[in-house]
Amino acid sequence: MAALSHDTAAARSLHPNCFMTAIARQVRDLMTREVATLGRNETLRTADDVMRLGRIRHLPIVDEEGALAGIVSQRDLFHSGLMRALGYGSHAQGRALDSLVVKEAMKTDVATTTPDTPLATAAKTMFEKKIGCLVVLEGGKIAGILTESDFVRAAAGT
C-alpha cells in the first residue's frame, strides 16, 4: 500500500468520512454551474445531439417559464429509442429519436439539492437513490448540476 503524502493525510484527518470535503464543503464548491437544458417539446434526437456533443449524461428539462420540469439521461434516450426501434437497426432507432419528444422520455421526479447543502449529504442522497446527478436549485431556478463526474474530477485534483 502506498504511503499517503503529508498533505493528503492532513486533508483526510480534517474530515474522515469524505476526503473531498477538506477542500469543498458545500454543493456550490463542486457543482457544474453552466448547465445545458432543453424544453419539453424538443425531439429526443436533439437531446441525444446535445448530450453527445457536450459529453454529458444528464440533461435537465425546463418548461416554458424556465422552471425544472424533468430530466433525461443517456439511459432514458437509449430505452426510448430502443423500444421503438427494437430489431430494426440504427436507421429505425434514428427515426424513433426524431419522432419522440423529450416529455415522452423524461423523468419528472427529479432529485434536487441546493448550493448550501453539505457535499456529504448530497453524495449520500445520490448513493442511496442510485442516481448519477442532483439538479441544484436556488430560488426555484437551476443554479447548477452535481454529477458523479464532479466528484471524480475533485478526487483527481483537476
Compute the radius of gyration of the chain from its Cα atoms.
18
Phi-psi region of 157 (alpha: psi -120 to 50; beta: other; left: phi over 0): left
Tens-place pLDDT, residues 72-92: 998 877 765 544 545 555 566
pTM, full prediction: 0.77
Tell me the C-alpha distance between 154 and 158, whole Å. 6
Assess if residue 12 is contained within a domain.
no
Tens-place pLDDT, residues 4-51: 333 443 344 334 444 444 456 899 999 999 999 999 999 988 998 999
From residue 39, alpha-carbon distances to 34, 44, 56, 134, 135 in Å are 16, 11, 17, 18, 16
Assess if residue 10 is contained within a domain.
no
Assess if residue 8 is contained within a domain.
no
CATH of the domain at 41: 3.10.580.10
Total domains, the chain: 1
Tens-place pLDDT, residues 129-148: 999 999 999 999 999 999 99
Q: Which domain holds residue 71?
A: 20-156
